[in-house]
């Protein structure tokens, strides 16, 4: 019995549930920000998440690539992660935004670990991250993700 292929939206739903259920991620958010990580698939464009809503993750299904000769189906998603952190630590002439360190060194590895284990039939192929600091103290990471779902040989017709 063949299972139906994943869709980009079902991948987004799996990621969302994994982020919500991950005790390590939620404990980190509670400790760092005093509340759990909110997770959305898409956003209400009349009221997009703002600094007061942080920490949050918005997941957007972006694209899918398939074809009869392909040995896999590729799914692209975009995750936008927002945290609020206005602490700047300074030692002598060196300054560092704590929020960037939290995003890059603490949160992103947790998200990647969640994504690595969220889908038994697919794997995280690629992850590209851009940081947005223009709305400081709201700091955002825009994460472009490609997920590969292998296709059994019999389905390549």
pLDDT tens for residues 4-18? 668 999 999 999 999
What is the tally of structural domains in the chain? Answer: 1
- Record the pTM: 0.89
Is the pLDDT at 156 greater than 80, yes or no?
Answer: no
pLDDT mean over 102-114: 96
Q: Which domain holds residue 145?
A: 8-151
How far apart are the C-alpha atoms of 82 and 35, rounded to whole Å?
A: 13
26 within some domain: yes
pLDDT above 60: residue 155: no
**102 within domain boundaries:** yes
Q: Considering the domain boundaries, does residue 157 fall inside one?
A: no
At 108, list the tokens: 């992103």
- CATH assignment at residue 112: 3.30.70
Angle at 81 between CA 45 and CA 72, to 5 degrees: 95
């Amino acid at each position: 019995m063949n299972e139906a292929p994943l869709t980009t939206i079902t991948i987004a739903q799996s990621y969302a549930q994994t982020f919500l259920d991950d005790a390590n991620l939620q404990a980190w958010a509670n400790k760092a920000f005093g509340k759990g990580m909110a997770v959305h698939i898409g956003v209400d464009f009349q009221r997009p998440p703002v600094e007061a809503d942080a920490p949050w993750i918005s997941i957007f299904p972006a694209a899918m690539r398939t074809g009869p000769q392909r040995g896999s189906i590729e799914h692209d998603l975009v995750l936008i992660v927002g945290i609020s952190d206005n602490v700047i630590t300074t030692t002598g002439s060196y300054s560092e935004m704590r929020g960037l360190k939290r995003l890059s060194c603490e949160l992103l590895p947790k998200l990647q670990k969640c994504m690595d284990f969220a889908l038994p039939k697919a794997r995280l192929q690629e992850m590209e991250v851009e940081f947005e600091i223009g709305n400081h103290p709201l700091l955002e990471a825009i994460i472009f993700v490609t997920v590969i779902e292998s296709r059994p040989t019999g389905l390549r017709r």
